[in-house]
Structure 1
Amino acid sequence: MSKDQDKKFMISFAGVLALLFGITIAIIALAAIMTPKHDTADESEVKKVAARTAPIGTVITDPALLVKAKAAVKREPYSGEQVYTTVCSACHSGGLLGAPKSDDKAAWAARKGAAGGVDGLTASAIKGKNSMPPRGGNADLTDDEVKAAVEHLLKLSGA
């Protein structure tokens, strides 16, 4: 009786496999019939697709080319208030990392006197001091923009 059960199982299993194979072939044939042909696209459609899928920019990784690319970009100079707001205020508004607060007149008057005035403070800000990185961490700032920020900071402090 065991051989009959094995034979019946194999016949049933083969039938199920044949049925699944037949369904697969039928689906493939139906998909081939229903799929539109794309090789008939005219040139204008190809150009439209190429325009929609074109890259929107490039990435420059060569440092020499990066310097040239930065030099080619022109921008309006930032005012002292803009530089202070975007760069300096992060530390000087709250005294972070020992930075003198922007409203501390005594601290700024002492620093101004010790550094040799606005030009000395500007030179110090350009090269960095203590925890402050050069140019406040924004290497794109010009010397004039740093000086304008120093003047604005001194004006805020009243020194």
Structure 2
Amino acid sequence: MVTLLKRAGRRNDEGLAETIARTLRAEALRQPAPVEHALGVAAVGLIDTITAMSDAIIALEAELATVFDQHAQAEVITSMPGLGPVLAARVLGELGDDPTRFTDVRALRSFAGTAPITRASGRSRVVSSRRICNRRLGDACHWWAFAALTKSPGTRAHYDRRR
């Protein structure tokens, strides 16, 4: 306990460590037996619900991956760092598969909400984020960037250089 407190930045807190340990070892307050039984039944019900939802999510992800792999651009899209079948399907669903939809990268970034708005006049310059954009695509791009940082060493190195 003392080591844990020292890691948290506390110093000379042996007394606090003993108080915490004593409190954790003390007998817990109890509810009446019928209440404890009801809470146990409710907890088992919640566990069953969570298990069923988890199984459904696994089945849906498998079906999504199967259907997404049939798309003509699936291999190209999933070759990008950080894009697995679920996130790639979300990005593709928000962008659509018409290559002429956006005239350039700037238009695509504006649509996704990843391009900042810069207002400048004289010596004054204000940079703000876009409020009107496709928030679902912007959210997918956020998760894509995070996944790419954790999965791609090249992306991580580029991010660290830019910071």
Normalised by the shorter chain, which TM-score bucket? under 0.3
For the pair shown, the structure with the greater C-alpha radius of gyration is 1
Bigger relative contact order (CA 8 A; separation at least 6): 1
Where is the helix percentage greater, Structure 1 or Structure 2?
1
TM-score (normalizing by structure 1): 0.22
